[in-house]
Amino acid sequence: MKKLMAANWKMYKTRAEAKATAEELVSRIKGKLPEDREVVIAAPYTALATVGAVLEGNAGCSLSAENLYPAEQGAFTGEISPAMLKDVGCTYALAGHSERRSIIGETDELVGEKVAFGLANGLSMILCIGETIDERKAGEVQKVIDRQLEAGLKDVPADFVPETVVVAYEPVWAIGTGEVAGEDEIVEAHGFVRKKLENIFPEKASEIRILYGGSVKPGNCAQIIALDNVDGVLVGGASLEGESFSQIALA
């Protein structure tokens, strides 16, 4: 299984900034990315074509959207379909990032529709899950993970290819706070995710990648990806500079 080192640029970067960052990243990892590593950049819609052009032809590098809408086309003002994303070179899309759940108000059900529709339309999907600090304090980590996985994976087509489904565990309290989850907390949560995946997809669960996200930096990435059931990372802040994300990609 290839480790997946994913950047999430959120709502940062004009096209020129995105191009410069992607070029710096590519120049730093070119020829150095191990065979068992994959790099993905999730960029804002307006920068996708630009970043895609930089990544094109670079083995092991793929382009992702940060979101999609689960319909082929139609009267959905402001939304973007999987076909449009594939048209600009995306092979991945995120679904259910905690910022979309908490700020935009996406429900578990909508997130599940996005995952299923993206997969059915040829994208690999990164389903983001994770508890808030209040949920952790209330002892509800497993309950939240269980609910978000159940709904998020509900309509995944039975014949899905395991590499095309990725789960990113991002405890909300560790996102953008500098407070990385402890190793025990990561191992426990990822172990629980794996068990749940085994329940849902008994034959494919071991090949589904589980990423950790939340204050991943060049200095802590190597320890994190060495933990049990950690198959890569999803990185926000530290992915915004080509140099720091290249260190993470090669960690």
Positions in the binding site for ligand 13P (CB under 6 A): 8, 97, 170, 175-176, 213-216, 234-238
Query: Minimum Å distance from CB 74 to ligand 13P?
Result: 28
- Whichever of 235 and 249 has its CB closer to ligand 13P, that residue is 235
How far does the chain reach from its first CA to its final CA, in angstroms?
Answer: 17
Collect all residues with Cβ–Cβ distance below 8 Å to 249 and sequence separation of at least 6.
5, 25, 29, 33, 37, 39
Please, is 20 exposed, middle or buried when counting C-beta atoms within 10 Å of its C-beta (0-12, 13-18, 19+)? Answer: middle
Q: For 200-218, give the DSSP string.
A: H-TTTGGGSEEEEESS--T
Taking alpha carbons only, the member of 127, 101, 97, 124 closest to residue 112 is 127
Query: Minimum Å distance from CB 248 to ligand 13P?
Result: 10
- Whichever of 10 and 19 has its CB closer to ligand 13P, that residue is 10
The runs of H, that is alpha helices, within the chain are 15-29, 48-55, 82-87, 98-99, 108-120, 133-137, 141-152, 183-200, 221-225, 242-249
- Whichever of 90 and 201 has its CB closer to ligand 13P, that residue is 90
Query: Minimum Å distance from CB 174 to ligand 13P?
Result: 6
Catalytic one among 38, 97, 106, 113?
A: 97
To the query of whether residue 170 is one of the catalytic residues in this protein, the response is: yes
Query: Minimum Å distance from CB 240 to ligand 13P?
Result: 9
To the query of whether residue 190 is one of the catalytic residues in this protein, the response is: no
- Whichever of 156 and 235 has its CB closer to ligand 13P, that residue is 235
Backbone angles phi, psi at 202, to 5 degrees: -50, -35
- Whichever of 47 and 238 has its CB closer to ligand 13P, that residue is 238
Q: Dihedral through CA 238, CA 244, CA 248, CA 251, nearest 10? A: -150
Query: Minimum Å distance from CB 158 to ligand 13P?
Result: 28
Catalytic one among 66, 99, 131, 170?
A: 170
> Which neighbouring-strand residues pair with 5?
39, 233
Which of the residues are catalytic? 97, 170
